[in-house]
């Protein structure tokens, strides 16, 4: 596996093993998460990614591994969860019970709310471009002109991602790529029987 910058392994992060509809030629397969785990430090991050990578290699369907670009804030996440839990106590009986039956997903939903991030980094998605090299050059020229710090860049299945410090989105040319203020970083993916790691 190519080396992932240490700063993207630190702190609390959600790591997911998932499938994407666009990876299936017939377009029938739905988006879906196969597994989700939270890492608390570099060692746990590496352990989870290695575990998911083994499953990705063995899988007969195309899978991807993603990690949250922004570390999460546990105190904010707990507060958000407690607020939702309190609200759920006033639901009707069926919906109240459903909250507790589905409690892990409710917790992860709170954990991944943009308001519960511990830092702010932008992910610029250069997707489905005619020339990936040209798209990266144009995007980086604009970022340099805007004096925006580029933290990382890597190729994806259909283009590239550029991770930056936050900046004024209104100064960005949307035709160059979409800004995701709390995106998911692609760690690796499976293509034609091989796992491609691009970070």
Whole-angstrom Cα distance, residue 192 to residue 158? 14
More confidently predicted of 75 and 199: 75
This prediction's pTM: 0.87
Band the pLDDT of 190: cuts 50, 70, 90: confident
Q: What is the pLDDT of residues 13-30, one digit of tens each?
A: 999 999 876 666 665 555
Name 19's Cβ contacts closer than 8 Å, sequence gap at least 6: 29, 31, 32, 34, 61, 62, 63, 64
In three-state form (DSSP H/G/I as H, E/B as E, the rest C), the secondary structure along the chain is CCCCCHHHCCCEEEEEEEECHHHCCCCCCCCEEEEEEEECCHHHHHHHHHHHHHHHHHCCCCCEEEEECCCECHHHHHHHHHHHHHHHCCCCHHHHHHHHHCHHHHHHHHHCCHHHECCCCEEEEEECCCCHHHHHHHHHHHHHHCCCCEEEEEECCCEEEEEECCCCHHHCCHHHCEEECCCEEEEEEEECCEEEECC
User: Backbone dihedral region of 183: left (phi > 0), alpha (psi from -120 to 50 degrees) or beta?
Assistant: beta
Band the pLDDT of 61: cuts 50, 70, 90: confident
Residue 87: predicted pLDDT:
96
Q: Is the pLDDT of residue 199 over 50?
A: no
| Fold of the domain built from segment(s) 6-72+117-192 | DNA primase, PRIM domain (3.90.920)
Where do the domains of the chain lie? 6-72+117-192, 74-115
Q: Is the pLDDT of residue 193 over 60?
A: no
Residue 27: predicted pLDDT:
55
Q: Which residues pair with 123 in a beta bridge?
A: 163, 180
- The sheet carrying 64-68 orders its strands as 32-39, 13-19, 64-68, 184-191, 194-197
User: Which stretch, 61-65, 80-84, 190-194, has highest mean pLDDT?
Assistant: 80-84
Q: Is the pLDDT of residue 171 over 60?
A: yes
Q: What is the pLDDT of residues 130-169, one digit of tens each?
A: 788 999 999 999 999 999 999 999 998 889 999 999 999 9
Q: Is the pLDDT of residue 128 over 80?
A: no
């Amino acid at each position: 596996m190519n080396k992932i910058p240490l700063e993207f392994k630190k702190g609390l992060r959600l790591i997911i093993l998932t499938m994407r509809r666009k990876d299936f030629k017939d377009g029938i397969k739905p988006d879906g998460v196969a597994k989700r785990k939270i890492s608390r430090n570099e060692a746990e991050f590496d352990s989870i990614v290695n575990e998911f990578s083994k499953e990705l290699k063995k899988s007969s369907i195309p899978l991807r591994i993603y990690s949250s670009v922004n570390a999460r804030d546990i105190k904010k996440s707990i507060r958000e969860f407690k607020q939702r839990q309190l609200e759920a106590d006033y639901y009707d009986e069926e919906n109240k019970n459903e909250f507790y039956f589905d409690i892990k997903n409710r917790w992860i939903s709170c954990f991944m709310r943009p308001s519960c991030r511990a830092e702010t980094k932008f992910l610029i998605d250069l997707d489905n471009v005619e020339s990936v090299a040209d798209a990266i050059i144009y995007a980086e020229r604009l970022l340099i002109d805007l004096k925006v710090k580029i933290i990382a860049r890597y190729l994806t299945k259909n283009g590239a991602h550029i991770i930056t410090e936050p900046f004024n989105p209104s100064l960005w040319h949307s035709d160059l790529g979409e800004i995701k203020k709390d995106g998911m970083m692609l760690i690796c993916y499976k293509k034609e029987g091989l796992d491609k790691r691009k970070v």
